[in-house]
Each structure stands twice: as C-alpha cells, then as structure tokens.
Structure 1
Amino acid sequence: MGRVTAAVPPPGSRPADPDAVLEGLDPEQREVATTLRGPVCVLAGAGTGKTRAITHRIAYGVRSGVLPPASVLAVTFTNRAAGEMRGRLRSLGAEGVQARTFHSAALRQLQFFWPRAVGGEPPRLLERKVQLVAEAAARSRIRLERAELRDVTSEIEWAKLTQTVPEDYPAALVKAGREAPRDPAETARIYSTYEQLKRDRDTIDFEDVLLLTVGILQDRQDIADTVRRQYQHFVVDEYQDVSPLQQRLLELWLGERDSICVVGDAGQTIYSFTGATPDFLLDFRTRHPGATVVKLVRDYRSTPQVVHLANGLLAQAAGRAAEHRLELVSQRPPGPEPVFTEHRDEPAEAEATAATVRDLIRAGTPAGEIAVLYRINAQSEIYEQALADAGVPYQMKGAERFFERAEVRQAGLALRGAARAGGANDTALAGAVTLPEQVGAVLAAQGWSPEPPGGTGAVRDRWESLRALVRLAEDFAAGHPAAGLAEFVTELEERARVQHAPALDGVTLASLHAAKGLEWDAVFLVGLTDGMLPITHARTPEQIEEERRLLYVGVTRARKHLTLSWALARSPGGRASRRPSRFLDGLRPGSAAARGRGPGGSGGVERG
C-alpha cells in the first residue's frame, strides 16, 4: 500500500529519471524509497543505511513528481545530521527540500509569523542559558557550584520539553519517576526566577522557540493553514528521540494529513533526561493503523564480531524498547574479535589504551578513524594526557565549535577576499588550477602546509583546522566539479551558519552521548565499571536499561576494531574494589553465562 514505482527508463534516458535513484539500494531500503504515500515507519538499526534510505526516498519522490521539493520538510536533531542530509539531497538532485533541526525549523517559522501573530520584533534568542540560570539562582539566594548549575539547567530544559511549568515541577518528577539532582523546591524557585528574568529582558531560549511556535499554531488557525499549505510531506529522523513538545509541534505541522515518514530505533534511546521517549515511535502504528512498517537490519557498518556483541548486549535487556529490539545482520567480512582488557588502575588503563592507539596508527589506521569513548566528560583528562605522552594527536568532541576557532575565522576571511579578487586570476594563486589547490594556496599564508608540524599543542591544532578546510575543498570539488572559490566560500558560510563542521584528523575523545550518530574504524570503550556504566545515579529499572542502551550505542560505533576496558582501582596502589560493568556479564569470557566463541564470539580478557 502506498508504493509508487516508476516505469523502467529507456536506454539513454536522463540521469534525473526516478529509477536511477534506486540503484544500489537493498530490498528494504528500496521499499522505504518507493513507499511515498500514507504514513511510513522505518525501524532502522545502527549502521543499516537509514539516512541513505530516507534521502533516496525524498529524491525518488521529487524526481517522480509525487513530492514537490518545496513541500517537503525533513527534520532531525543535530546541525551535523541536517547538514549531511542537505548535502546528500543536493547530490541526488533534490534541491529545494528543507532539511532542518526541530529548533531551526521552528525558529524560522516563529520569526516569520511573530509580527503577524503578536506584533513587533520577535524576542532576542538566548544562545546559552547557563549564565541566566546562575543569575536566577543568585536572586533566589541559592548558591550553585558549576556541576550543580549544569544539573539545574538540564532540569529546566527537561521541564520545558515536557511542558511542565515551575509550580508543577516537583509533582512532575514524581509522576515521571525521575530522580532530581537537588531539592525540587529549590530548582522550581530557580526555574520560576529564570523565566521572569527572560520576560524582563525580552529574551527567549531554545525551548521557548518550540513552545511559542506550538502556541501560535494552536491559537492561530490562519497561520497553521499557511504552514500546512507550505509543508505537506514530512520526514523525521531519529524519531526515538522526540520529546512530547516536539511531537506536539509535529502534529500541528501535519494537521489531519498522513504524509509522514518516521525513522528510528528504540534500542538507541539515550536522551530521556532531555524528555525524549521511544513511545511515539513504538506507538506509531496505534496512531496510524494503516502505516507501512519497514525494518532495516542489514548492518553495513560493523563486522560480524562487533554485531554479535551488540546483539548479545541487547538480548539481555528488559522493558518495552527491548521487546522491539532489532537483530542486526552484518554485511561485512569477518574482522578481529572484540578485546576485553582489565587493568590494575585508571592510569594503567589510559596508558595501555594510548599505546594500542599508537600501534593501530603505525599499522595504517588513520588517527581520525579512532575514538576513545567514556561515560562522562570528566574521564577525558587522563586520556588526553596519555595520548599526548604517546605523541598521538587527538580532538575533543563537543569542545570549541569549529567555525568559532580563530584560525578558521581568519581562513574564511582570507578565502572570501581571494574569491572577491577573482579566484584563479589572483596573482597570489598563480599556478593553482583546481579548487583544492586554490584553497591550499590561500591558506598557505595562514600556516597551512602539506606536511604537518612536529609535536602537538596550539600549532598542531591550527594546522589540523586548516587541513580540515583543504579536505573539505577536495570533497566539495568532487561533488561540484565546476565550482570555484566563490561557490566554496558560500558552502563554508552555510556550514558555519548551521554549525556543520568538517571532520578533523586526530583520535576523537568523546562521551558516549556525544558519539551518537558517528562511527570509526576502531573504538575504545573505557572505564566500564559498575558505578560508571551504569552510572551510580541510575537506580530505576528504566534508568538502568537506558545505560545499557548507551553502551550499545558505543559498541555500534565501531566498524572493525573494538576494545572494552576497565580498571580495578582508581589510583596506583589503590584498593582493587571495582568490578566490570554488569552489562558485560555473559559477554566477556569468564563472566556468568558467557557466550561461546566462534564466528562473532568474544575474545579473551587481557590484563594490563
């Protein structure tokens, strides 16, 4: 039901023919791409090509005339994901389709309709709310340490995304079974003061963008009708991560229509602390009884060994999400077994990790294809030091934004000036013919050279940033052969606007939450002890299961090499009182109910 199939194109037909988009898709991906009418729910496991499936669906619909480009709104959760989607759609000939985050799409509508709905200029958007929360706490005569300030800010965000007002916050915690990081009454007071400060200063935060857009669409039927005339077809990526507020906004966009395609995996729900819930994904068929449901389980990312471990991890899960788990099937050749390593203390674990990373790089694995992932950001410092001591370059995921770096801003200005001066006609670019050569020539004055500088530190960091721009020019030229400096500068400006940063070289250090949506050839999951994963404050069965899913997300980031490690003590000479994460029971050799080895089995436990 709902499938649209174009006629087989004649020999010599134009590349814009719809069926050209379907080439290379597997049967399930093809079903997603060709089912263009009615509600569609895609249950897509990690590494199964969900972005490929939905972008080809949009492109197939555009090329076949079923989906007018300007009528399609594709929403996801990060600027990086939205940028990647836009890039893929452009390469598939589906220009004109809007691919945005929920917040970006809502902000655009809010700013456009505010004068008509409210009058005057819209309030100023508060980029970061932490400072205002700190002021609200001070006015409430509550002293907050830095970590406590972060906790209260997160609680305010959760309350707003679940549409909870300050006075209802304590009761909402009880109803949700949520454990508050501090006294709920105090948090409610800070929350109330924070809201008053925003009103006094005519500012709004990111959650207000959603709330106000929902309010306008609910209260103004004429505006809702205008939006619905513009957007008639919707695609929602990472649907397991929607909050009740985002779901309400989606319903208002959709109205009484059913042209919606959602994509998600309940097994990767790891953001419940922000109000996200997989219930909307799992209940999709209840709300849309005639929906087409397609499961993507062919894993093109990871080896059978990694997939076997991931499947085994979720096989032990409980709860509603576990009942709908997807059994992945690797499509890759066999690789090395996952390695489990036990260490006497944390410094020994970090040193051993850095040494193995260095060996991988020497054996030919690019540093940019390696990641060290941990549960909380506080764990990064010891790995930063160990990698630096081993002479291994690294980058911090979630650190300073790429386009806000001084060297990147300077490079952008230089490229813009060269483009205005005439690109290849500029004497400074003599001999530079291709776009990458031109970009390299401009950036040479900024410190770029084909060979990296020695050592680490600020000089190396600057070089890595410039190299990322040169590589981005190479990728852009490959997709746009006729493009010059002016077009590349436009691409950079668009990427900066939506914070779609290019990949940097260097081993990635990131929390498990920050690693969602990314992948590497080699992944090191470190600090896997009870109390860290699951984290100590995860006490309810639901919270424990979310911690298990967090580890699952970490495992499924690895394409080939996977190492899972833990330390028995914190410091050298300390008491070896820690135990490996309970989630590894039955998976690591020697643990209770350990699974057998063989194809896709688990390797032995090494001790460092």
Structure 2
Amino acid sequence: MTDRLAELNLSALDPEQLRAATAPRGPVCIIAGAGTGKTRTITHRIAHLVSGGYVNPDHVLAVTFTSRAAAELRERLTMMGVARVQARTFHAAARGQLKYFWPKIVGDTPWRLLDNKFALVARVARSAGVQTDKTTLKDLLGEIEWAKSSLIAPEDYPAHIGPDRRDCPVAPEQFVRIFEGYERAKVTPEGVLMDFDDLLQSMAGAIEADRGVADEFRSRYRTFVVDEYQDVTPLQQRLLDAWLGDRDDLTVVGDANQTIYSFNGASPEHLLRFSTRYPQATTVRLFRDYRSTPQVVDLANNVIGRATGRMAGTRLQLEGQRPAGPPAEFTEYPDETAEAAGVAERIAALIRSGVKPSEIAVLYRINAQSAAVEYALDSAGINYQVKGGEGFFQRGEIRQAVSALGQAARREQARAKLIVSGDAAGADDTTADGAADDASFAGTGHLVGQVRAALVPVGLTPAEPTGAQERARWQSLEALVNLTEELAATTPGLDLAGLLGLLRERAQAKNPPKVESVTLASIHAAKGLEWDAVFLIGLVDGTVPIRYALKGSHSGEAIEEERRLLYVGVTRAREHLELSWSQARQPGGKANRRRTRFLDGLVPWEKERDEQRAREAASRPGRVKGAPKDACAVCGTRLTTPEQRILGVCEEHAKEMDQVLVTELRSWRSALAKQRGVPAYVVMSDATLRAVALKAPTTPQQLVQVPGIGPVKVEQFGEDILGIVRNYS
C-alpha cells in the first residue's frame, strides 16, 4: 500500500490538505477557502481511498455543482489512474439513475425530459386567466423552480413570500393556480414530462418508497463526495440523504463565505450543521491561499471580516502563499462612460505589459453593466467575450471545424486500412486531399499539425486577420488548436478520433478552452473561475449591494449575501485587482452615487482626501468659530441658506448623504401622504428627509435631535423611520 500511495505524491500536499486526503472513511467536512486547492484535495482523497483498498472506484459517486467542474474532476482522476469513479452533477446523476430504475418504479409508462418549460407555463398561465409576457414567464418559471428546489408545495408558497423575500410576479393566489396547473400538465396521455427538479424529486422518492430500489442503489454506490456543499438546495439534500440511507461515508467540501445562490434555494445550513449531524466527523479547514497574492488575500479578508449575522462566526482567515504583488487599486470615476473608458485603458496597459487577454476579466453585479465596457473595449480594439453568451462549441465556425476534423479522421482511418492491406500508393493518395504530409507537422506535434491543416479551409490562417468578425472567427479556431495541444500533452497517443471524442465530452460539459480575449461576466457567473487580473466595476450602493437586497424585514441577510458576492469577486484575482465606481450614471449627470458600503475604511486614499478637505475648509475665510448652528458639522464652512442650516452641513457635504436611503424615505412619505390625502410636504419636508439620511438615527432619542423632527413626529412616524434607517444602514 505504501508504494501505491507514493505514486499519488502526497508529499505535494500541505498539512491540512494531507489530513483531509488521508482521513479515515466516514464523515469528513473540508472547509476550503478560495484558492486553497480543494480540487487537488478531493482528487487525492478519492485516490487515497481507492489505492489504499478502502473503497472500490466503481462504488464512488462524486457530485459537483457544474458540468464543467465534473469534467475537470473526471480528467484529473483519470490522470491519477482512478478512471472508474463517477463524477456528475446532481441532475446528471439523478437522470442516469432514473433511466435505470424507471421500469421498476413505474412500469411501461414512458417519460422524457421537458425541453420547453416556457411554452408549458405560458399555456397554463393563459388557462388560469393570467396574461404574461416573456419577462413575466421567466419570473414565473424561476419561482416554480425555487419552490420545488426548496421543497415547498404550491399551496404553501404564499406563506413564504415575506420570510424568504420572494418577488412574486403575479398575485399569490394566481401563482398557486399556475404552479398547480404546471404540475398537472406534465402528466399527459403519451407519458410523463420531467423537469430537472422532477429528476431529483422522483429519484429521492423512489429510494425512500421502494426498499428494493434502495438496496440495489446502495449496493452500487457506497462512498460519496459533494463539492460546493454550501450551495446545496433542500431538494438536493433530500436526494443525498436518500442515497446515503443510514450510512455516513460522506465527504463534503464547501465554504460558507462563498454562499451566493440563496435566491435559487441554496442554503449553507447543511454545511454549518455538518458536525452537529455527524459528531464523529473529521473537520479540516484549508486556509492557505495558493491563488492570490497577499495583497489580494488581505483585501478579501478585510471584506469578509466585517460580515455580521449567523455566518460571521464561520469566517475563514486566508493566508496568502504567493510572493507579494501590486496593491489593489481603487478608482472613482465621474460617470459610467468614464469608468468604462478608464478600465479599457488599464486593460490595454496590462496587455502591453505581457498579461494575456484571456487572463483578464471584468466582473459586474448585473449583466446590463457590460454594455459600456463592451463599447469601450471595442473602441480600444481589445477583443472580449461575454460569458453566458453563445457557447463556444455552439458557434458556427467551431461546428464547421469539428466537421472538418471528422472528415480528416475518416481519411486517416481509410489510410490506415489501406496500409494494413498493403496498398501504399492508395495510402499516399489519401493525404493529398487538403492535408499535409507528416513532415509539415515537425516541431508542432503530429496531431496539432493535422488539426491546423484541417482547419485551413475553415478559415485558420497563419496570422490573425483584420476585421471584427474575421478576427473573432480566427480566435475561436486558434483556441481549438490550443485546446488540442493541451489535450495531446495530457493524453499520450491521442489521435484525431480520440480528440473528437474528448471534444464531444467538452461540448456536453460546456467546458470551453480559453480564447485570447478579455472575459466579461457577472460575479455569479465567475464563481469557480480565476484570472491574473480582475476589474470589479460599478461598486455603488444600490448595485453592490443590489437595491432589492436593501428592502424588507430580512434585508440584513440579503445584504450579507451581497458582501459575500463581493468577496467572491475579489478572490477571483491572482495578481492584479482593480475596484471602481462612478459618481453619476451619465456624463454630466448628478454625482449622487455612494460608493459601496462594503469598502468603508478599505480605500486608502479616502482618508487622506477627507483630511485634505478638512484642512482646506479650515483655511477658508468665512468660517464662524463658536457658532455651530451656522457652520457645517463636517468642515466648519459658514452655512448660507435655510436648507443648509436645517441639514447642518454645507452643499458639498450634503451631496455625500445616502441617496438610496433618501429615495426610500421619499417612497414611504409618498405612500403615507396618499393614504392621508395630503401633500407630501405636509408629512415631512425634503430637507428633513435629507437630514434623517445624513444623521442616520437608530434610536428615538437620536431621531428627535434631527432638525425638523420633534417629539410629535417621533411619536407618529418614529417606528417607520427608524425601521427604514436600520434596513439601509
């Protein structure tokens, strides 16, 4: 056994990784921070269990969050000589299991995967008397998926709207009718339609209800590994519980600091309570960050270190292991256009310094933020790709390229047959049709040369062409060649036929190669990825945290998830990290935006700027010493208008108050004025609302001190105002 373990090179693991990889069979919880080598740890744990004779590889099921992660896990295990382990997503695993067990569960009634849920939901909505557009249909489907993944029945949904901060697109009773109608409509005379949640639900139900199915499944799979465990939904946990039964041979890997999918029903509770459920579990915390420089790691620690609420105690303090790098950059721009142009300029500088475009990413909170950056990059002549757009293997040029490779593979097979039959002349003829002879492949490898030759008719030229469309096509083809080089290097003896098989698996796993262009992506879409340089843009309150996270009685939890989202964005960077925000949306617009609260105290130059402003204000003539009612509370400048005196600050510092809070206070005032049938100013003046936003009182005693609010208004409106302030502070 020692010799076999030596082949795994366990000496390459750090002490924590080694402890996790070699832990005994049974429950193991690996708390793996960003960049701490969790995939290496998982693969070595599986390989250790297999090579040590503790488990049969055919009895291991590893579950990942995405198809791309599953494909990467399979590739790594294959390279380690552990090829028979199953690595799938929850849905892919359940689909395969259901196909096998369906006849035993249901009999001859056929089922098929529902490939167009939109059409079905639209039909059901119309029958329920609800007229919907495409956007509403997407929202309806999203709510149905959330409810099913959260194990919430249609009739119970209305009770969860408030506590779970659901934004129901129609009246709750209408949604219940649509949800129930959708479930009924999937049972047809031709058979049963299954959506992805049904796969999990049906397989869990089958194991729970049928002892024969349970025994057969559990005799097949006995050891389980679950990645990204902080993001499992209640439905996924139910299926996992069904798989396990009363066994505990389970390894989970996760990080509560990276919980960012609560809106989809994901919950970190199972990770947080793992040691309670399994008191005998081995728990290992991976904290050595091998991805990012100490400068990036320090900022990440500072961002998440201010977390509050139930997960504050789960923080993992990362320790950077890489050499020092440049400090994180913080930039404030006058408007979004200037921000996009500035980011494009910085990207161009990085590319000139030697950073590959494929190692640069621009990340944002919402997809709509990409528009200005796309224009700026295009104007600067910088290639980019928007993650979440058309898939690499679905592009027209790649489809043509794969077809050309298929033809080349068939020619190679025909040539091999002719050689075996002794027809050397015929074999020579087969190389003349669009292919080069073996000598032309010298220096680049035989397979890579074959691929390049096959792609010449499709548009692969020796040099990158001009023109946006032609350049994009060439980039895709060149990326396919680069992928071939990677696969050939890790798969000895790979030929064209084998390459096509690997490409098909990559296409199914949605695992494209790197294209030499800058990546634009939402922070959610960037989860699990990393780049040498990352630009986090649009970091203003109302975007990060997103506006809807600031509303409602449960806004505290939502705001903390937004903090974790920024943490995930920061930890995507290996070396260069730049964070930016703009004061206005449009050029010349009002500079009333507030930089995200999550960077409070973390922007080095802000303290110096504020001190400089105070020094300048102190030297201005007109400051009235000893007369606080007539002087700005921030800088001491003389107040010259009644509104400035009410606010207690000058015009310059009035601009810095929380505009998001002012907007919400105005909405509250408008609703109250409408209810009472009086003008809005009768309830409270704009100046008083701005004073509330500036002072941000949290108690009745503090509120009564705000200019324009006395004891009567505190008694009438105090509870409402303080509640709004607490939600937005």
Tell me, in whole angstroms, the C-alpha distance in 1 between the residues paired with 2:355 and 2:341. 19
The superposition leaves residues 549-597 of structure 1 with CA deviations (integer Å, 9 ceiling, x where unpaired) of 0000000000011111111111111111111011111211355899xxx
Question: Which residue, 131, 134, 139 being the options, matches 1:151?
Answer: 139
1:208 corresponds to 2:215: no
Structure 2 gap ranges (5+):
417-429, 610-729
The superposition leaves residues 436-458 of structure 1 with CA deviations (integer Å, 9 ceiling, x where unpaired) of 111111112211234222242x3
Tell me, in whole angstroms, the C-alpha distance in 2 between the residues paired with 1:116 and 1:324. 44
1:197 corresponds to 2:212: no
**Quick one: which amino acid aligns to residue 197 of structure 1?**
A
How far 1:128 sits from its partner (Å)? 4.8
Question: Which residue, 381, 385, 392 being the options, matches 1:391?
Answer: 381
1:507 corresponds in structure 2 to 518
How far 1:515 sits from its partner (Å)? 0.3
Following superposition of structure 1 onto structure 2, how do residues 47-196 of structure 1 map, counting pairs within 5 Å?
47-120=35-108, 122-180=110-168, 182-196=170-184
Structure 1 stretch displaced more, 483-492 or 141-150: 141-150
The superposition leaves residues 39-68 of structure 1 with CA deviations (integer Å, 9 ceiling, x where unpaired) of 100000000000110011111222222121
Tell me, in whole angstroms, the C-alpha distance in 2 between the residues paired with 1:242 and 1:592. 41
The answer to whether the Cα contact below 8 Å between 2:63 and 2:226 also exists between their aligned partners in 1 is yes
Tell me, in whole angstroms, the C-alpha distance in 1 between the residues paired with 2:580 and 2:7. 47
How far 1:130 sits from its partner (Å)? 3.2
Aligned residues: 581
1:217 corresponds in structure 2 to 207
Tell me, in whole angstroms, the C-alpha distance in 2 between the residues paired with 1:181 and 1:359. 45
1:27 corresponds to 2:15: yes
SS of residue matched to 1:518: coil
Distance 1:128 1:335, change over 3 A: farther
Tell me, in whole angstroms, the C-alpha distance in 2 between the residues paired with 1:301 and 1:181. 41
Question: Which residue, 439, 447, 450 being the options, matches 1:435?
Answer: 447
1:374 corresponds to 2:364: yes
Structure 1 stretch displaced more, 36-45 or 443-452: 443-452
The superposition leaves residues 245-286 of structure 1 with CA deviations (integer Å, 9 ceiling, x where unpaired) of 101101111111111100000000000011100000010001
SS of residue matched to 1:280: helix
1:524 corresponds to 2:535: yes
Question: Which residue, 546, 556, 576 being the options, matches 2:591?
Answer: 576
The answer to whether the Cα contact below 8 Å between 1:21 and 1:60 also exists between their aligned partners in 2 is no
Tell me, in whole angstroms, the C-alpha distance in 2 between the residues paired with 1:284 and 1:520. 32
2:396 corresponds in structure 1 to 406
The superposition leaves residues 129-173 of structure 1 with CA deviations (integer Å, 9 ceiling, x where unpaired) of 334333333333323344333322221111010111222111133
**Quick one: which amino acid aligns to residue 504 of structure 2?**
E
1:452 corresponds in structure 2 to 464
Superposition TM-score, scaled by structure 1 size: 0.92
Distance 1:145 1:580, change over 3 A: farther
2:562 corresponds in structure 1 to 547
The answer to whether the Cα contact below 8 Å between 2:374 and 2:384 also exists between their aligned partners in 1 is yes
2:218 corresponds in structure 1 to 228
1:466 corresponds to 2:456: no
Distance 1:372 1:532, change over 3 A: same
Tell me, in whole angstroms, the C-alpha distance in 2 between the residues paired with 1:113 and 1:24. 42
Tell me, in whole angstroms, the C-alpha distance in 1 between the residues paired with 2:578 and 2:172. 40
SS of residue matched to 2:368: helix
Distance 1:377 1:146, change over 3 A: farther
Distance 1:242 1:446, change over 3 A: same
Distance 1:334 1:568, change over 3 A: same
Tell me, in whole angstroms, the C-alpha distance in 1 between the residues paired with 2:301 and 2:608. 15
SS of residue matched to 1:23: helix
Tell me, in whole angstroms, the C-alpha distance in 2 between the residues paired with 1:478 and 1:450. 22
Distance 1:492 1:454, change over 3 A: same
Quote the RMSD (CA, aligned, Å): 1.9
How far 1:101 sits from its partner (Å)? 0.4
How far 1:330 sits from its partner (Å)? 0.2
**Quick one: which amino acid aligns to residue 552 of structure 1?**
Y
SS of residue matched to 1:565: strand
1:537 corresponds in structure 2 to 548
Distance 1:557 1:228, change over 3 A: same
Question: Which residue, 581, 598, 602 being the options, matches 1:587?
Answer: 602
How far 1:17 sits from its partner (Å)? 4.6
Structure 1 stretch displaced more, 582-591 or 72-81: 582-591
SS of residue matched to 2:31: strand
Tell me, in whole angstroms, the C-alpha distance in 2 between the residues paired with 1:450 and 1:238. 42
Tell me, in whole angstroms, the C-alpha distance in 1 between the residues paired with 2:271 and 2:608. 33
Larger relative CO (CA 8 A, sep 6+): 1 or 2? 1
Superposition TM-score, scaled by structure 2 size: 0.77
1:264 corresponds to 2:264: no
The answer to whether the Cα contact below 8 Å between 1:585 and 1:592 also exists between their aligned partners in 2 is no
Distance 1:192 1:453, change over 3 A: farther
**Quick one: which amino acid aligns to residue 422 of structure 1?**
E
SS of residue matched to 1:454: coil
Tell me, in whole angstroms, the C-alpha distance in 1 between the residues paired with 2:296 and 2:95. 40
Following superposition of structure 1 onto structure 2, how do residues 350-361 of structure 1 map, counting pairs within 5 Å?
350-361=340-351
How far 1:186 sits from its partner (Å)? 3.1
Q: Which has the larger radius of gyration?
A: 2
Tell me, in whole angstroms, the C-alpha distance in 2 between the residues paired with 1:511 and 1:451. 32
**Quick one: which amino acid aligns to residue 308 of structure 1?**
D
Tell me, in whole angstroms, the C-alpha distance in 1 between the residues paired with 2:370 and 2:128. 34
Distance 1:118 1:486, change over 3 A: same
1:276 corresponds to 2:276: no
